[in-house]
Amino acid sequence: HILSVAGAHWQPNWAGALPGVGSLRWDSAYYREVAVRVHQIATMTYDSFMPLPALYRWWVRTEVEGLLAAGVDRSTDLMIGLSVSRA
- Model confidence over 2-19: pLDDT tens digits? 999 998 888 777 766 676
80 has which bridge partners? 43
Sheet containing strand 40-44, strands side by side:
4-7, 40-44, 77-81
Residue pair 5/12 in contact (Cβ under 8 Å)? The answer is: no
Residue 23: predicted pLDDT: 63
- Reported as a single tens digit per residue, the pLDDT across 20-65 is 666 667 888 889 999 999 999 998 877 777 888 898 888 889 888 9
DSSP per residue, 39-81: SEEEEETT----SSHHHHHHHHHHHHHHHHHTT--TTSEEEEE
How far apart (Å, rounded) are the C-alpha atoms in residues 67 and 50? 19
Residue 21: predicted pLDDT: 61
